């Protein structure tokens, strides 16, 4: 059996462990990315009788990738490059 334990820290109000055997890794990542789970202390993956701390891996999966605005239209840049190459071809 495999399941995840997500420990959420509420500060002075205490902590809460969310344990749902039906929740998959994808569900945990989606809930963190959506903001449903915030202030996470740790995420443990329990498989049979072993426990693994997967906090760093889950948090990196849940983080949104940074998009560089300067290279937003790469297809147009590729077309421009091909056009420039054709200009310099021998006639």
Q: Name the residue ranges covered by the structural domains of the chain.
A: 2-64
Question: Can you tell me the mean pLDDT for 8-14?
Answer: 92
Question: Can you tell me the mean pLDDT for 9-35?
Answer: 92
- pTM here is 0.66
Least confident of 21-30, 33-42, 58-67: 58-67
Q: In what order do the strands lie in the sheet with 2-9?
A: 15-19, 2-9, 40-47, 50-53
Q: Say how far apart CA 56 and CA 64 lie, in whole Å.
A: 14
DSSP 48: T
DSSP 88: T
Taking CA atoms, 9 is separated from 40, 42, 73, in Å, by 6, 9, 41
């Amino acid at each position: 059996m495999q399941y995840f334990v997500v420990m959420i820290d509420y500060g002075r109000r205490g902590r809460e462990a969310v344990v749902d055997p039906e929740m998959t890794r994808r569900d945990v990542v989606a809930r963190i990315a959506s903001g449903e789970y915030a202030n996470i202390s740790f995420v443990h993956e329990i498989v049979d009788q072993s426990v693994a701390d997967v906090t760093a891996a889950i948090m990196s999966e849940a983080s949104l990738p940074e998009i560089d605005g300067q290279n937003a239209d790469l297809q147009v840049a590729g077309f421009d490059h091909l056009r420039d190459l054709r200009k310099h071809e021998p006639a």
